[in-house]
C-alpha cells in the first residue's frame, strides 16, 4: 500500500470535519437556549461543504488523504485518514444531519417567551455529538480512538431515544444502552489483545503485522461480536425496534440511517482493512448467514406490526441484514462488485430510511396516530408524504431505478459471478417481503375512505423528506466513476 | 504460575462472570453492575498488556495505562447515564427493560 508517513494536501480538512461539530456542541452547551439551535442549523451546511471538499481531494489524489495529529507518525501518534468510503460516508452523514436539523426545526425550536427548554437543547447538542462521533469513526485510523468515538456515538444516541421522557422510551433507551455497553466492552477487550500481540493500534500498521494466530482470531471475534451488537444484526437486534420507533422522527432518521452504519463501518474496517490477509471464508459465511436470517426475520416481523414506525424500524433490521452479505460477496475475484453493492446498500438505505422516518413523523403529527389499520384514505390528504413513502419503499424493495435496486442487483451479480448462488435466495426473498410490507402501508392509504387530518403538514418538512428519497432514487443512476471512487484505498488481497 | 498469567486469568474470569450476569439477570441495575465487572476484567487485561509489552528499558509500557484511564472515564460516564435512566424508570413504578409494559393494559387491541 505504501502508506505515506506525512500529512498530505487537504489533510487539515479531516481535522476541520471533526472540529466543526465538536466546537458547535460545546458552544451550544455553554451558550444554550435559542443559540444552540442557530449554531446547529448554521454549522450543518458548512459541514456538508467540508465533506464535499474532502471527497474532492480524495478524488483528485486518487489515494487516501492523511493527517498526522501533532505531526507524529504512528505508532507513536494518531493518523486520520480518509479514503473513498470515508469521503462518501462523510458526505452522506452531512446530508442526512443537515436534513434532520432543518426537518426538526418546527418541533425542537425553543418556545417563545422561554429562555431555554430541556428537550430542544438536548436535541441540538446530541445531534451535533452524533455527527462528531460519526465523522471520527469515518476518518479515524486508531482502534482505541475509534472505541472512544463509538462510545460517544452511543452516549449521544441514547438521550435522543428518551428525549420526550415517557417511561416506555426510557426503558427502550436503557435496553439500547445495555446492548451498546456490552458491544463496546467486548470491542475494547479485542483492542487490548491486538495491542498486546502487535504493539500498535494503527489500522494500516496492524494490517502489515497481523498473522492468523489464536490471539488475532480471538481479538477479531470479540471485536466483531461487540460491533454486531451495536449494529443490531439478528439475533442481537432486540434493542433496535423499540428504540428507533420511540424516538422523535428527526432522531429516528439519524439513528436508523446513520448511527447503526457507524458500527458497521468499523466491521468493514476490521475485516477488509486490518485482516484482509486472513483465511476468513468461514467467518464470512457465518456473517452472511446471520445477515440472511436478519433479512427474513426482520421482514416477516415487519409484516405483522400494527404501528407504522415499528414497521419501519423492523425494516431497518432486515436492511441491515443485506449489509452483512458483503462479507461473503466481496471476497475473491469478483470482490469489486460485492464491495460496490455493500456501499450502495449503506447509502441507499440511509437516505430511503431517513426519508421514511421523516414521513412517518409527518403522518403521525397530521393524523394524531400511526396505526396502519387507521390509515384509510390518508394518501388523499397527505399526497406528498405518501409519494415519499412510496419512492422510499421502491428503493427498499429494490425496484429499478433506485439505489436499492443497484445494491441488490450488484449483490446478485456478485453471488452468481463468485459461484455462491445460494445467497441469491435471501436477497430475492427479502425484496419480495419488503414489497409486502410497503404494500401494507400504501394499500389502505390509497383506498377511498374519508379521513380528516388533525393538523395540516408543513410543506417544508415534506419537501426535505422528498429530497432525501430523490437522492436514494438518484443513486440508481450512479456512474462507474462513483464505484471507482469507492475503491480508493481499499486493500486488495494479493496486491501489496 | 507467574503473576502476569495469574492476573490475566483473573481478568478473563471477571469478564466471564460479568458476561454471565449481563445476560442472565433481568434487573437493569444488576446488569449494570455486571457490565462494570466486565469492565474491571478488561482493564486488568490492559494492565497485563502494559507489563508484557514493555520494551526499550521501560518497566511498563505507558500507552495501555493511558488507555485504561480513558476506559475508566468512559465506563464511569456510561454507568452514570445508566443509573440516571434507572432512577427515572423507578419513578414510573416499573424498573424493567420491556417497553411494552406501559402500553399493554391500555390498548391491548392493537396487538
Task: Give the pLDDT confidence of A309-357 residue by residue, as tens digits.
Answer: 999 999 999 999 999 999 998 877 678 888 899 999 999 999 999 999 9
Closest chain A residue by Cα to residue B39: A185
At A66-102, the pLDDT tens digits run 999 888 888 788 899 999 999 999 999 999 999 999 9
Are A181 and B35 in contact (CB < 8 Å)?
Answer: yes
Nearest to B52 among A172, A185, A196 (CB): A196
C-alpha to C-alpha distance for A275 and A378, rounded to whole angstroms: 51
Q: Which residues of B touch A304 (CB under 8 A)?
A: none
**CATH architecture entry for B3-97:** Orthogonal Bundle (1.10)
C-alpha to C-alpha distance for A491 and A407, rounded to whole angstroms: 21
Q: How many CA atoms lie within 13 A of A187 on its CB side?
A: 29
Closest chain A residue by Cα to residue B61: A199
Mutate one of B17, B24, B29, B78 to test the A interface: name it (highest A CB count within 10 A): B78
With a cut of 70, say whether residue A280 has pLDDT above it: yes
With a cut of 90, say whether residue A217 has pLDDT above it: yes
Closest chain A residue by Cα to residue B65: A192
- How close is the nearest chain A Cα to the Cα of B40, in Å? 10
Q: Which three cell numbers stand for residue A48?
A: 456538508
Per-residue pLDDT averaged across A195-219, rounded? 88
* Spatial contact of A255 and A244, defined as CB atoms under 8 Å apart: yes
Give, for all 111 residues of chain B, the pLDDT tens digit. 788 888 889 999 999 999 999 999 888 999 999 999 999 999 999 888 877 655 556 677 788 888 999 999 999 999 999 999 999 988 887 777 777 776 665 544 443
Nearest to A170 among B39, B88, B110 (CB): B88
Q: How confident is the model at residue A2 (pLDDT cuts 50, 70, 90)?
A: very low
Q: Does residue B21 belong to the interface with chain A, where contact is any CB pair within 8 Å?
A: no
Q: What is the mean pLDDT of chain A?
A: 89
- How close is the nearest chain A Cα to the Cα of B68, in Å? 10
Q: Does residue B62 belong to the interface with chain A, where contact is any CB pair within 8 Å?
A: no
C-alpha to C-alpha distance for A433 and A318, rounded to whole angstroms: 10
At A397-440, the pLDDT tens digits run 988 888 999 999 999 999 988 888 889 999 999 999 999 999 98
What pLDDT, on the 0 to 100 scale, is given for residue B105? 56
Percentage of chain A exceeding pLDDT 70: 98
Q: Which residues of B touch A147 (CB under 8 A)?
A: 71, 74
At A281-306, the pLDDT tens digits run 889 999 999 999 999 999 999 999 98
Closest chain A residue by Cα to residue B42: A189
Q: Which residues of A touch B35 (CB under 8 A)?
A: 178, 181-182, 185
Tally C-beta pairs within 8 A across A and B. Answer: 114
A276 upstream amide cis, omega within 30 of 0:
no
pTM: 0.92
What pLDDT, on the 0 to 100 scale, is given for residue A459? 85
| Complex prediction ipTM | 0.90
Nearest to A144 among B67, B88, B100 (CB): B67
C-alpha to C-alpha distance for A319 and B2, rounded to whole angstroms: 49
* In A211-259, alpha helices (H): 214-231, 240-246, 249-254
User: What phi and psi, each to the nearest 5 degrees, are found at residue B47?
Assistant: -60, -40
What pLDDT, on the 0 to 100 scale, is given for residue B110? 41
Q: Is B96 left (phi over 0), alpha (psi -120 to 50) or beta?
A: beta
Q: Which residues of A283-305 are buried (b: 16+ CB within 10 A; e: fewer)?
A: bbeebbbbbbbbbbbbbebbbeb
Top pLDDT among A115 and A481 is at A481
What pLDDT, on the 0 to 100 scale, is given for residue A1? 43
Domain locations in chain B?
3-97
What pLDDT, on the 0 to 100 scale, is given for residue A496? 40
Q: Which residues of A touch B75 (CB under 8 A)?
A: 185
Note the Cα A480 to chain centre separation in Å: 23
What pLDDT, on the 0 to 100 scale, is given for residue A85? 92
Per-residue pLDDT averaged across A115-129, rounded? 88
Mutate one of A74, A155, A172, A185 to test the B interface: name it (highest B CB count within 10 A): A185
Place of cell 434493542: A239
Amino acid at each position: 500500500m505504501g502508506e505515506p508517513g506525512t500529512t498530505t494536501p487537504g489533510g487539515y480538512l479531516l481535522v476541520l470535519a471533526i472540529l466543526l461539530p465538536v466546537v458547535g456542541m460545546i458552544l451550544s452547551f455553554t451558550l444554550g437556549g435559542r443559540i444552540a439551535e442557530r449554531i446547529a442549523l448554521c454549522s450543518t451546511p458548512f459541514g456538508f461543504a467540508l465533506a464535499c471538499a474532502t471527497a474532492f481531494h480524495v478524488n483528485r489524489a486518487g489515494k487516501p488523504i492523511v493527517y498526522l495529529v501533532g505531526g507524529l507518525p504512528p505508532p507513536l501518534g494518531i493518523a486520520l485518514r480518509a479514503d473513498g468510503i470515508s469521503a462518501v460516508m462523510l458526505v452522506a452523514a452531512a446530508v442526512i444531519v443537515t436534513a434532520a436539523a432543518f426537518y426538526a426545526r418546527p418541533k425542537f425550536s425553543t418556545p417563545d417567551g422561554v429562555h431555554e427548554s430541556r428537550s430542544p437543547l438536548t436535541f441540538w447538542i446530541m445531534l451535533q455529538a452524533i455527527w462528531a462521533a460519526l465523522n471520527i469513526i469515518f476518518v479515524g485510523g486508531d482502534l482505541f480512538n475509534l472505541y472512544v468515538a463509538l462510545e460517544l456515538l452511543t452516549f449521544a444516541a441514547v438521550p435522543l431515544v428518551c428525549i420526550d421522557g415517557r417511561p416506555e422510551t426510557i426503558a427502550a433507551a436503557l435496553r439500547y444502552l445495555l446492548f451498546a455497553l456490552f458491544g463496546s466492552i467486548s470491542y475494547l477487550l479485542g483492542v487490548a489483545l491486538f495491542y498486546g500481540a502487535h504493539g500498535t493500534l494503527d489500522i494500516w500498521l496492524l494490517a502489515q503485522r497481523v498473522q492468523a494466530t489464536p490471539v488475532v482470531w480471538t481479538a477479531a471475534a470479540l471485536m466483531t461480536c461487540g460491533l454486531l451488537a451495536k449494529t443490531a444484526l439478528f439475533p442481537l437486534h432486540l434493542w433496535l425496534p423499540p428504540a428507533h420507533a420511540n424516538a422523535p422522527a428527526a432522531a429516528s432518521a439519524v439513528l436508523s440511517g446513520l448511527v447503526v452504519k457507524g458500527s458497521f463501518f468499523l466491521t468493514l474496517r476490521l475485516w477488509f482493512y486490518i485482516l484482509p490477509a486472513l483465511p476468513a471464508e468461514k467467518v464470512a459465511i457465518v456473517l452472511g448467514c446471520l445477515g440472511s436470517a436478519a433479512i427474513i426475520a426482520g421482514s416477516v416481523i415487519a409484516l405483522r406490526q400494527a404501528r407504522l414506525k415499528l414497521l419501519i424500524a423492523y425494516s431497518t433490521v432486515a436492511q441491515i441484514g443485506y449489509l452483512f452479505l458483503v462479507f461473503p460477496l466481496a471476497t475473491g475475484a469478483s470482490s469489486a462488485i460485492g464491495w460496490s453493492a455493500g456501499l450502495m446498500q449503506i447509502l441507499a438505505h440511509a437516505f430511503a430510511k431517513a426519508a421514511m422516518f421523516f414521513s412517518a413523523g409527518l403522518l403521525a403529527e397530521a393524523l394524531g396516530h400511526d396505526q396502519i389499520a387507521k390509515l384509510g384514505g390518508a394518501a388523499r390528504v397527505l399526497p406528498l408524504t405518501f409519494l415519499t413513502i412510496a419512492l422510499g419503499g421502491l428503493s427498499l424493495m429494490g425496484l429499478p431505478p433506485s439505489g436499492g435496486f443497484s445494491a441488490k442487483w450488484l449483490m446478485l451479480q456478485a453471488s452468481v459471478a463468485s459461484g455462491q448462488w445460494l445467497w441469491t435466495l435471501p436477497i430475492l426473498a427479502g425484496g419480495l417481503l419488503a414489497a409486502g410490507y410497503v404494500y401494507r402501508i400504501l394499500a389502505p392509504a390509497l383506498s377511498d375512505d374519508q379521513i380528516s387530518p388533525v393538523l395540516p403538514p408543513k410543506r417544508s418538512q415534506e419537501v426535505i423528506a422528498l429530497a432525501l428519497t430523490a437522492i436514494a432514487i438518484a443513486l440508481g443512476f450512479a456512474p462507474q466513476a462513483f464505484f471507482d471512487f469507492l475503491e480508493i484505498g481499499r486493500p486488495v488481497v494479493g496486491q501489496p | 504460575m507467574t503473576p502476569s498469567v495469574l492476573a490475566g486469568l483473573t481478568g478473563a474470569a471477571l469478564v466471564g462472570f460479568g458476561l454471565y450476569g449481563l445476560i442472565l439477570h433481568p434487573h437493569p441495575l444488576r446488569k449494570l453492575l455486571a457490565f462494570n465487572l466486565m469492565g474491571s476484567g478488561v482493564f486488568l487485561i490492559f494492565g497485563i498488556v502494559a507489563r508484557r509489552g514493555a520494551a526499550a528499558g521501560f518497566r511498563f509500557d505507558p500507552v495501555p495505562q493511558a488507555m485504561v484511564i480513558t476506559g475508566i472515564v468512559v465506563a464511569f460516564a456510561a454507568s452514570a447515564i445508566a443509573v440516571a435512566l434507572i432512577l427515572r424508570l423507578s419513578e414510573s413504578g416499573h424498573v424493567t427493560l420491556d417497553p411494552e409494559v406501559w402500553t399493554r393494559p391500555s390498548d391491548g387491541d392493537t396487538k
